[in-house]
Amino acid sequence: MERGEFIRLISEKMKLVRTEQNFSQDKMSEILGISKKTLVQIEKRRMEANWTTVVAFCALFNHSQLLISTIGDDPVDFVRLIASKNGGTPKEKTMGGKIWWKEIDYRGDFRLQQNLISNHYRILDQYDYRWHSSFAKEESISRLIELHELHTIEVEKGRGYEE
């Protein structure tokens, strides 16, 4: 998903999330730091939110069930993925992909998953920590192989995180 598509998707969901959170247009526009007139234009789909507003929206409403189910992942993580030039994100603990994710490939303690909604890829280790995220399948497969090889070398040297 490209930045423009993401902006369009979030813009289309703003009214639903505002309703889900029981905010008036006045309160929502105040929270987002935009005018009520701008919010009304976005909600009526006469214009799209800008990138800054989308980022703020995702950060402020990252626990919205509607937003999570729309994206299929944590909204803030998704913003990081889109904003990142190289597709890398910090190593973070995940829920392991029980919902929204399909297993694509395994290499040792690492597994490549694809999000069923956004179609982006991520690599998790055996403890469900994220090591990589990208929209590019070939890049993700290469990174999976690289991580597996590096981990194998570290385990052989006695520096791996084996239990």
Residues 28 and 64 in one domain: yes
Strand locations in the chain (E): 92-93, 101-107, 110-115, 121-124, 129-134
Residues 79 and 96 in one domain: no
User: In the chain, which residues have pLDDT < 50?
Assistant: 86-90, 162-163
Residues 99 and 38 in one domain: no
With respect to residue 64, please indicate whether it lies within any of the assigned structural domains: yes
Question: What pLDDT, on a 0 to 100 scale, did the predictor assign at position 44?
Answer: 97
Residues 41 and 103 in one domain: no
Residues 121 and 69 in one domain: no
With respect to residue 163, please indicate whether it lies within any of the assigned structural domains: no
Residues 129 and 97 in one domain: yes
Question: What pLDDT, on a 0 to 100 scale, did the predictor assign at position 49?
Answer: 96
Give the residues across from 129 on adjacent strands. 93
Give exposure, 47-84, as e/b (b: 16+ Cβ within 10 Å).
ebbebebbbbbbebbbebeebbebbbbbbebbbbbbee
Could you list the residue range(s) of the whole structural domain that residue 108 is in?
92-156
Question: What pLDDT, on a 0 to 100 scale, did the predictor assign at position 90?
Answer: 45
Q: What is the pLDDT of residues 137-160, one digit of tens each?
A: 999 999 999 888 887 776 676 655
Cα–Cα distance, 148 to 68 (Å, whole number): 30
- From 83, 114, 137, the end of a domain falls on 83
With respect to residue 161, please indicate whether it lies within any of the assigned structural domains: no
Residues 24 and 56 in one domain: yes
Residues 78 and 146 in one domain: no
- CATH number of the domain at 25, please: 1.10.260.40
With respect to residue 113, please indicate whether it lies within any of the assigned structural domains: yes
Number of domains in the chain: 2
Cα–Cα distance, 70 to 57 (Å, whole number): 14
Residues 107 and 135 in one domain: yes
Q: Are 40 and 85 in contact (CB under 8 A)?
A: no
Question: What pLDDT, on a 0 to 100 scale, did the predictor assign at position 88?
Answer: 44
With respect to residue 75, please indicate whether it lies within any of the assigned structural domains: yes
Residues 40 and 57 in one domain: yes
